[in-house]
Amino acid sequence: MEEKIRNIRKSFNNEIEKVLDNISLEEIRIKYFGKKSEVSDIQSNLKTLSDDEKKSIGALLNELKLEIGNRLNELKSKFDEELLNSKLNEDKIDVSLPGTSISDGSIHPISKVIDEVESLFVSMGYDVVDGPEVEEDRFNFEYLNIPKGHPTRDAQDSFFINEEWLLRTQTSPVQARVMQSKEEKGPIKIICPGKVYRKDNDDATHSHQFTQIEGLVIGENISMSDLKGTLEVFAKSMFGKTREIRFRPSYFPFTEPSIEVDVSCFNCDKKGCPICKNTGWIEILGAGMVHPNVLNMSGYDSNKYNGFAFGMGAERIAMLKYGIPDVRMFYTNDIRFVKQFNRIEGEFK
Residue 131 or 288 with smaller CB distance to ligand PHE = 288
- C-alpha span between 42 and 36 (Å, rounded): 11
Whole-number minimum distance, CB 172 to ligand PHE, in Å? 4
In this complex, which beta carbon is closest to ligand PHE, that of residue 281 or of residue 310? Answer: 310
Q: Which residue ranges make up the site for ligand PHE (CB under 6 A)?
A: 170, 172, 214, 252, 255, 286-288, 309-311
- DSSP letters spanning 214-246: EEEEEESS--HHHHHHHHHHHHHHHH-TT--EE
Q: Which residue is nearest to ligand PHE (CB)?
A: 311
Nearer to ligand PHE (CB atom), residue 139 or residue 310: 310
Answer yes or no: are the C-beta atoms of 281 and 239 closer than 8 Å.
no
- How near is the Cβ of 276 to ligand PHE at its closest, in Å? 21
Minimum CB–partner distance for residue 347 and ligand PHE (Å): 27
- Least distance in Å: CB of 286 to ligand PHE? 3
User: CB-wise, 42 or 259, nearer to ligand PHE?
Assistant: 259
Question: Is the CB of 216 or the CB of 276 nearer to ligand PHE?
Answer: 216
Closest distance of CB 259 from ligand PHE, Å = 8
- 34-72: string of b/e by CB count within 10 Å (b at 16+)? eeebebeebeeeeeeeeeeeeeebeebbeebbeebeebb
Q: Which of 114, 287, 139, 262 is nearest to 194 (CA)?
A: 114
Q: Three-state SS across 42-85?
A: HHHHHHHCCHHHHHHHHHHHHHHHHHHHHHHHHHHHHHHHHHHH
Between residues 68 and 146, which has the closer beta carbon with respect to ligand PHE?
A: 146
Report the nearest approach of ligand PHE to the CB of residue 100 (Å).
44
CB 5 within 8 A of CB 60: yes
Residue 170 or 211: the one with the smaller Cβ distance to ligand PHE is 170
**In the complex, what is the shortest distance from the CB of residue 257 to ligand PHE, in angstroms, rounded to a whole number?**
11
CA separation for the pair 298, 287 (Å, rounded): 19
